[in-house]
């Protein structure tokens, strides 16, 4: 299923992200755009969203690995007793 169809099925609207940002956040975004010399604000916002997405995935994977490590340690402890 493509994104547009999924969006329609779920009733998710794209909307205008700028309508929901405070002036101080917009100013910060403008400063970020000027730092990296990129005048396309959509690319700046998309980059921030992508970073947040990958950070969340990394966090989920770390938690999953921690659980697996704990289970492995428990099995090793049971074998030793």
| pLDDT, tens digit (0-9, with 9 covering 90-100), for 53-63 | 999 999 999 88
Q: Which domain holds residue 53?
A: 3-80
- Average of per-residue pLDDT across 49-75: 87
State pTM to two decimals.
0.61
Percent of the chain at pLDDT exceeding 90: 31
Give the pLDDT score at 54.
Answer: 96
Asked if residue 29 lies in contact with residue 45, where contact means CB atoms within 8 angstroms, the answer is yes
Number of domains in the chain: 1
Tell me the pLDDT band of 1, cut-offs 50, 70 and 90: low
**Closest alpha carbon to 65 in 76, 55, 53, 73:** 73
Give the pLDDT score at 81.
Answer: 54
């Amino acid at each position: 299923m493509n994104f547009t169809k999924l969006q329609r099925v779920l009733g998710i609207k794209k909307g205008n992200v700028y309508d929901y940002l405070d002036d101080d956040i917009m100013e910060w975004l403008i400063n970020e755009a000027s730092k990296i010399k990129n005048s396309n604000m959509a690319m700046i916002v998309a980059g921030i969203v992508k970073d947040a997405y990958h950070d969340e995935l990394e966090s989920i994977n770390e938690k999953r690995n921690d659980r697996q490590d704990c289970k492995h340690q428990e099995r090793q402890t049971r074998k030793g007793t």
